[in-house]
Amino acid sequence: LFLRCPVDDRLRRQNPPEPVIDWAPEEEARPEREEEKHPFFTGDEEDRDDQDDAYDEEPPRGGRGSRGDDRERRSKANKRKGKNGVACLVVALVLAGGVGGVGYFGYQFWQGQFGAAEDYAGAGSGEVQVEIPKGALGNEIGNILKKAGVVKSVDAFVSAQGRNPKGLSIQAGVYTLKKEMSAESAVKMMLDPASQSNFVIPEGRRNVWVYEQIDKKLGLDAGTTQGIAKAKANDLGLPDWAKNHKNVKDPLEGFLFPASYPVAKGNKPEDVLRRMVSRANQEYGKLELEAKAKQLGVESPWQLITIASLVQAEGTSHDDFRKMAEVVYNRLKPSNPQTYGGLEFDSTYNYIKNQSKLDLTLEELRKYDNPYNTYFVKGLPPGPIGNPGVEAMQGAVSPTNDGWYYFISIDGKTSQFTKTNAEHQKLVEKFNESRKN
């Protein structure tokens, strides 16, 4: 790098000192060109004062002392040349450093655009759980995995995900992965359902089962989640119409909505339960339960969810749900000539007993005094007897209107519905005969 450094033109044009002539007339002071005042080239304020002394003062009058002054001026001029040389060197170094910086950042840009992203090799080791939120994109997932020590770089993960077969995508949830995996291995593992640690609540499951599974998932002592649910029920997001009902066995029953939830060690039971209640509120909100309750002649949405739980428990397939809901509504009518308001569902007795028996005698059913036993009391039980799914809820708010009062499942897969007790008893005899064989 070559630079042309500024050299004061006045130094180049300065004439040599004229001989001293004692009789020479006094010369007028010549106007001088304005000196460059930028401190980078001229130095500090003291240097500029020296330069002003050398150029701005009136030249000395004749006499022998003028030769010494001239030598002093030349000395100061040489000093300025040295400073200008240093300034040139500084400029050269700055520009050279700039070129080097451009080269470095250019290399980094090239690496980012065309170089291979940092990545681990192999399938990794150990075990780590990561939670992927709903709607997370490739770079967000990559960041989560990098922070958890699963992959080495986000770019490597995004690149590996981009090579996936079309139609496959990483779902929200909790995954059990390994540390220091290659990005390709991480993507492959996350696309395998076996790696997902999500907790799935099947339709119709009772809260007792849900609590037990949460304790196992979180590594807690048995009964921990159930105790928290009982103590904090009203703080977990229940709507006002679901609170403070009498004789309810579990106030959260019917609100641990059947779905898939991310549950990993380190989560708090109350946070897990709150997610489930929130999902129930979201799904129930789609059905406009308060308006439907008035339309169907029940007291509140609480009764609708209770009916849906009965529909879920007694129905053998989704095709049954609307007919099963009609059976409930018809039997609840106190004036009906078939049951006069009595439901008489085995499922309610099994709920309070925390069992699932088929072989129940009328004698034991009718004698057990409990608000949930619909053989002992008429009307609905105090609350839901399980957690109904979407289709059971839809059946509860949109029942058929065909006059169904009775049902029975002979094969355990489908239900048969009848309108009179006489028709029903014929099917009961057929069922008993199949049991004998």
Q: What is the DSSP letter of 302?
A: H
Q: What is the DSSP letter of 418?
A: E
The answer on pLDDT for 39 being more than 80 is: no
Q: What are 392-428's pLDDT values in tens digits?
A: 999 999 999 999 999 999 888 889 999 999 999 999 9
H helix and E strand count, the chain: 17, 6
Between the alpha carbon of residue 20 and those of residues 16, 62, 63, 166, 385, the distances in Å are 12, 6, 6, 99, 125
CATH class entry, domain 125-196: alpha beta
Residue 267 contacts by C-beta under 8 Å, 6 or more apart in sequence? 218
326 in Cβ contact with 320 (< 8 Å)? no
Mean pLDDT throughout 238-252? 97
Q: What are the beta bridge partners of residue 406? A: 418
Q: Closest Cα partner for 262 from 176, 359, 366?
A: 176
Q: How high is the pLDDT of residue 72?
A: 53
Mean pLDDT (the chain) is 81
Pull the structure tokens for residue 211.
């609590």
Pull the structure tokens for residue 252.
């959260």
Residue 317 contacts by C-beta under 8 Å, 6 or more apart in sequence? 413, 414, 415
Q: How high is the pLDDT of residue 79?
A: 52
Sign of the torsion angle spanned by Cα atoms 84, 88, 93, 98: positive
What is the residue-wise DSSP string for 22-53? TTPPPPPPPPPPPPP--HHHH-SHHHHHHHHH
Q: What's the rounded Cα separation, in Å, for the pair 287 and 408?
A: 29
CB burial of 37-68 (b: ≥16 within 10 Å; e: otherwise) equals: eeeebbbeeeeeeebeebbeeeeeebeeeeee
345 in Cβ contact with 327 (< 8 Å)? no
What is the CA angle 237-240-244, rounded to 5?
100
Pull the structure tokens for residue 237.
């997001």
The answer on pLDDT for 60 being more than 70 is: no
310 in Cβ contact with 379 (< 8 Å)? no
Q: What's the rounded Cα separation, in Å, for the pair 30 and 59?
A: 9
Q: Which residue, chain included where needed, has tokens 């196992």? A: 216
Q: What are 327-370's pLDDT values in tens digits?
A: 999 999 999 999 999 999 999 999 999 999 988 999 999 999 99
Q: What are the extents of the domains in the chain? A: 9-114, 125-196, 200-285, 290-436
Mean pLDDT throughout 268-294? 96
Length reported for the chain: 437
Residue 317 is which amino acid?
S
Q: How high is the pLDDT of residue 80?
A: 53
415 in Cβ contact with 316 (< 8 Å)? yes
Q: What is the share, in percent, of the chain residues with pLDDT greater than 70?
A: 73
| SS3 at position 368 | coil
pLDDT band at 163 (very low <50, low <70, confident <90, very high): confident
- SS3 breakdown of the chain: % helix, strand, coil, rounded to 5? 50, 5, 45
The answer on pLDDT for 28 being more than 80 is: no
Q: Closest Cα partner for 227 from 208, 248, 244, 254?
A: 208
- Estimate to the nearest angstrom the gap between the alpha carbon of 89 and the chain centroid: 56
Q: Which residue, chain included where needed, has tokens 């049954």? A: 320
Q: What's the rounded Cα separation, in Å, for the pair 199 and 173?
A: 9
Q: What are 294-309's pLDDT values in tens digits?
A: 999 999 999 999 999 9
415 in Cβ contact with 315 (< 8 Å)? yes
Residue 265 contacts by C-beta under 8 Å, 6 or more apart in sequence? 129, 217, 218, 219
Long-range CB contacts (within 8 A, 24+) of 361-366: none
Q: Closest Cα partner for 253 from 390, 348, 386?
A: 386
This prediction's pTM: 0.66
